[in-house]
Amino acid sequence: MGTILKGVSRVRWHELRHAYGSAADVPGLLSRIAWGDARASEAALSDLGLWIGELAVFDATVATVPFLWDLAATTTVNSRAGVIELLQTILEHGNPPHPKVQREAHQAVLTRRPTADRLVGDSDPVVRAAAQDLLVAIDRHPSEPCCQI
């Protein structure tokens, strides 16, 4: 799938779940976000948000977060600010019946804080603003309630 999504084909997406079932279709959405025009990228990002973050977080969320970070940091991606906003959404949502998945999804966002620090200096003001909001969310994230199993 190219350099941006390197490793996406090694994930066993068909074994993972999102809000609406099998995550086998997640790589296609990631691809549309990475290489689609603005309209296609935004549509794919909207669908992905519903599937992996806006309702709750899932095991597919955990697998997707590293790719989202890569997309956010790649200047050729049309919807980088939206990707950053999705990362913040993931950090702010949980899955109380599945605390381990919630912890892993949140940790996947938290561990890439240095990328958010870099994005605050991005040349795109919309990306900078989204990154700043994400940093605030990271700094305010309660480590104890979310990260205990």
pLDDT tens column, 127-141? 999 999 999 999 999
Residue 146 pLDDT grade (very low, low, confident, very high; cuts 50, 70, 90): low
Residues whose CB is less than 8 angstroms from the CB of residue 62 and which lie 6 or more positions away in sequence, other chains included: 101, 104, 105, 108
Q: Contact, 131 vs 116, CB < 8 A?
A: yes
Q: From CA 54, how far away is CA 13, in angstroms rounded?
A: 19
pTM here is: 0.94
pLDDT for 95 equals 87
pLDDT for 28 equals 97
The per-residue pLDDT for range 7-63, each reduced to its tens digit, is 999 999 999 999 999 999 999 999 999 999 999 999 999 999 999 998 899 999 999
Distance of CA 4 to the CA centre of its chain: 14
3 state DSSP class of 19? coil
pLDDT for 44 equals 97
Residue 94 pLDDT grade (very low, low, confident, very high; cuts 50, 70, 90): confident
pLDDT for 72 equals 97
Closest CA to 128 of 45, 66, 72, 56: 72
The per-residue pLDDT for range 116-127, each reduced to its tens digit, is 999 999 999 999
Q: From CA 110, how far away is CA 137, in angstroms rounded?
A: 10
Residue 147 pLDDT grade (very low, low, confident, very high; cuts 50, 70, 90): low
Is residue 1's pLDDT more than 60? no
Integer-rounded Cα Rg, in Å, for the chain is 14
Q: From CA 71, how far away is CA 114, in angstroms rounded?
A: 15
